[in-house]
Amino acid sequence: MNKLTYKLRYRRHLPHIQPPGATLFVTFRLAGSIPQPVLQQLLAEAEQIDKTLRTMANAAERAQQAALEQRRMFGKWDGALDTANSGPFWLRQKEIARIVVDEMHRQDNQTYSLDAFCVMPNHVHMVFTPLPANNNGDNQTERYHALSRIMQALKGRSAIQANAQLGREGQFWQHESYDHVIRDEDEWRRIVEYVLHNPVKAGLVNDWEDWPWTYCKST
């Protein structure tokens, strides 16, 4: 097996896995939000895990281990963002957070169905399902709005507005993003709970409902 069905790191040039009708968990962050030494360490660890998994002959065991490693490494990525004491924190500013929130809601029911999100000081978590790009009603042939285009529109529009508000130029969002296909309802509930409670985990509030930049369609 030359190509694993998962990726442990934030992706840019690699193809994103988007099964038709799948619900996705996506995390994107501000440019420069993870210090380079920490970033290099995380990338090196992910590379080593990748090499180890490629030596596993049993496909089922490899897939199971890959899922465990993906979850563990994501925890490290997100932990690095939650505990960062340097880098940009523009999303702390309510005007900037509001821009991102409004852009996420703007695409809701147009290109995707939005389940939940959380805007943290230096990154954003989203759970959503891309919608069909046409209305022919044939689920076998419907083309869904592509994740790459959804994120390009969301990050592009919000970056322009945020930079204007901040009076700055240059890269606002990191190009790479993390995306994960949610497999079933139990995983959906676990991930949505994780998203909503991220501010509590990071020590920003005691109750997730006290954080102004969270949203859940159904709690």
pLDDT digits (tens, 9 = 90+) for 37-81: 887 887 888 788 888 888 888 877 777 777 777 777 777 777 778
Does the residue 64 lie in any domain? Answer: no
CA pair distance 198, 206, nearest whole angstrom: 11
DSSP annotation string for 66-101: HHHHHHHHHHHHHHHHHT--SS--GGGSHHHHHHHH
Does the residue 65 lie in any domain? Answer: no
Does the residue 134 lie in any domain? Answer: yes
Does the residue 11 lie in any domain? Answer: no
How many domains does the chain divide into? 1
CA pair distance 123, 32, nearest whole angstrom: 11
Does the residue 82 lie in any domain? Answer: no
The whole-model pTM stands at 0.80
Q: Could you tell me if 115 and 129 are in contact, meaning their C-beta atoms sit under 8 angstroms apart?
A: yes
- As a dihedral over the C-alpha atoms of residue 61, residue 63, residue 68, residue 74, rounded to 10 degrees, the angle is 160
At 15, the pLDDT band (50, 70, 90 cuts) reads very low
Does the residue 73 lie in any domain? Answer: no
Stretch 203-214: mean pLDDT? 96
User: For residue 129, which of 214, 20, 218, 27 has the smallest C-alpha distance?
Assistant: 20
Q: Could you tell me if 154 and 107 are in contact, meaning their C-beta atoms sit under 8 angstroms apart?
A: yes
Q: Could you tell me if 170 and 32 are in contact, meaning their C-beta atoms sit under 8 angstroms apart?
A: no
> Quick one: 22 exposed, middle or buried, by C-beta within 10 A (0-12, 13-18, 19+)?
middle
Task: Say which CATH number the domain at 116 has.
Answer: 3.30.70.1290
Highest mean pLDDT, choosing among 13-27, 136-150, 159-173: 159-173
Q: Could you tell me if 49 and 68 are in contact, meaning their C-beta atoms sit under 8 angstroms apart?
A: no
Q: Residue 97's domain spans which residues?
A: 23-33+88-216
Q: Which amino acid makes up residue 39?
A: L
What are the pLDDT digits (tens) for 70-109?
777 777 777 778 778 878 999 999 999 999 999 999 999 9
Beta strands across the sheet bearing 112-119: 173-182, 23-30, 123-130, 112-119, 214-216
